[in-house]
């Protein structure tokens, strides 16, 4: 069972003082109600230290917005994974579309950055997503497949990676992918992960959605079987809105994938799904009995074909 993860990407917003205030407000707005979901905040580099101190007494993770692939050296304006680790970050976002679009990031440099971040013990949020022109010309799957495969080339530690699907046309535009549109791409990504890393990774890798997520659409997105939380831009700059999105993820942690069993994530043997319809708790038991596949069918529970 995958725990959802919601991260606020503050991008190039807020001074250090404003970041500290916002982080404090987020903690206050959350209260006690988010234990069912992982939460992170990604302020500007300048505010990592100060925000990290605010988050110390909370369960919220400190996240960096990028990192370089060398430890040190003549790379003016860059910050290394080693520095990010030393300041207390547990995650780093890599390959955000704004980095790709405005700063020349390629799948090859994304791959180098991920490798270095993992070497430094950081967990990585790898961002992928197609532009509007790519979607309209029907190459979404090709683009996503290339970004995932080349981004992860030579990387074995998939357990330390979260993938964020962020369609470029939905970022900061107010246009959200429909929950069905997003879930389709998430399942496609999950299938690639299954091909590359095997069935456990297919089941366990977390795939966030990003692109105009707001309190009003979060619950529907997070109820989809392959959407494991969100990478939130604009709405994370408001503590109340961000807290509402986190609460939506916390509520949808356990049950919806069983209630919503028609679209459940595994296209393999269907025996778990009728169970889910009639008795959600039986379905949860089904999920946690590891030996069920061999005694019932002798086949793995999930196939990797794209549905
Ligand atoms: P918005 O939520 O502002 O669309 O930004 C999404 C994003 O890019 C998060 O990384």
| Ligand 1 atom with least separation from CA of 211 | 4
Distance 214 CA to ligand 1 centre (A): 10
CA 294 – ligand 1 centroid, Å: 43
> Closest ligand 1 atom, CA of 236?
2
| Pocket-testing residue among 64, 127, 172, ligand 1, by greatest number of atoms within 8 A of Cβ | 172
**pLDDT of 253:** 52
C-alpha 300/C-alpha 77 separation (Å) is 49
Give the Å distances, CA to CA, from 266 to 101, 261, 271: 34, 10, 11
Phi, psi of 195 (to 5 degrees): -60, -40
Give the closest residue (by CA) to ligand 1 atom 7.
233
Q: Beta strand 91-94 with 61-64: parallel, antiparallel or unpaired?
A: parallel
C-alpha torsion sign, points 16, 21, 22, 24: positive
99, HSE (Cβ side, Cα atoms, 13 Å): 21
- Return the residue whose CA atom lies nearest to atom 9 of ligand 1: 233
Residues having CB within 6 Å of any atom of ligand 1:
9, 96, 166, 171-172, 210-213, 231-235
Task: Confirm whether 166 is a catalytic residue.
Answer: yes
Query: Given the CA of residue 174, which atom of ligand 1 is nearest to it?
Result: 4
Give pLDDT, residue 173: 87
Best of 231, 238, 241 to mutate for ligand 1, by most ligand atoms within 8 A of CB?
231
Q: What's the count of helices (H) and strands (E) in the chain, helices before strands?
A: 15, 8
Q: What are the angstrom distances between the C-alpha of 106 and each of 50, 74, 114, 210?
A: 31, 20, 12, 20
Residue numbers in the chain where pLDDT is lower than 50: 254-307
Ligand 1 pocket test, candidate residues 212, 238, 241, 244, most atoms within 8 A of CB: 212
Candidates 120, 134, 166, 184; catalytic one: 166
247 belongs to the catalytic site: no
Closest residue by Cα to atom 5, ligand 1, is: 233
- Using the atom order of ligand 1, give the atom closest to the CA of residue 96: 10
CA of 285 to the centre of ligand 1 (A): 36
**Burial class, 159, CB count within 10 angstroms (exposed 0-12 / middle 13-18 / buried 19+):** exposed
Identify any residues that bridge with 208 across adjacent strands, giving them in sequence order.
164
Neighbours of 37 (CB within 10 A): 23
Residue spans per domain, the chain? 4-253, 255-307
How does DSSP assign 163-178, residue by residue?
EEE--GGGTTSSPPPP
CA of 167 to the centre of ligand 1 (A): 10
Third-level CATH fold of 4-253: TIM Barrel (3.20.20)
Residues 191 and 152: beta-carbon distance below 8 Å:
no
Question: What is the CA(212)–ligand 1 centre distance, in A?
Answer: 6
């Amino acid at each position: 069972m995958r725990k959802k993860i919601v991260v606020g990407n503050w991008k190039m917003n807020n001074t250090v003082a404003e970041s500290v205030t916002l982080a404090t407000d987020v903690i206050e707005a959350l209260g006690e109600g988010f234990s069912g979901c992982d939460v992170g905040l990604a302020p500007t580099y300048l505010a990592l230290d100060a925000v990290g101190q605010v988050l110390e007494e909370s369960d919220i993770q400190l996240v960096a917005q990028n990192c370089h692939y060398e430890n040190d050296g003549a790379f003016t304006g860059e910050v290394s994974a080693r520095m990010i680790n030393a300041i207390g970050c547990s995650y780093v976002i890599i390959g955000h579309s704004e980095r790709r679009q405005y700063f020349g990031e390629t799948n090859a440099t994304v791959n180098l950055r991920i490798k270095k971040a993992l070497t430094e013990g950081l967990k990585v949020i790898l961002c992928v997503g197609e532009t509007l022109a790519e979607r309209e010309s029907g190459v979404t799957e090709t683009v996503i497949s290339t970004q995932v495969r080349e981004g992860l080339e030579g990387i074995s530690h998939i357990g330390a990676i979260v993938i964020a699907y962020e369609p470029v046309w939905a970022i900061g535009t107010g246009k959200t992918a429909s929950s069905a549109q997003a879930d389709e791409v998430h399942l496609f990504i999950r299938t690639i992960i299954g091909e590359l890393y095997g069935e456990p990774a297919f089941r366990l890798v977390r795939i966030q959605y990003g692109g105009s997520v707001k309190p009003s659409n979060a619950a529907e997105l997070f109820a989809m079987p392959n959407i494991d939380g969100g990478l939130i831009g604009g709405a994370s700059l408001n503590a109340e809105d961000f807290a509402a999105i986190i609460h939506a993820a916390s509520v949808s942690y356990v049950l919806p994938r069983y209630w919503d069993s028609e679209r459940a994530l595994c296209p393999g043997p269907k025996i778990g799904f009728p169970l889910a319809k009639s008795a959600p708790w039986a379905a949860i038991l089904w999920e946690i009995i590891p030996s069920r596949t061999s005694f019932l069918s002798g086949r793995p529970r999930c196939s990797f074909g794209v549905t």
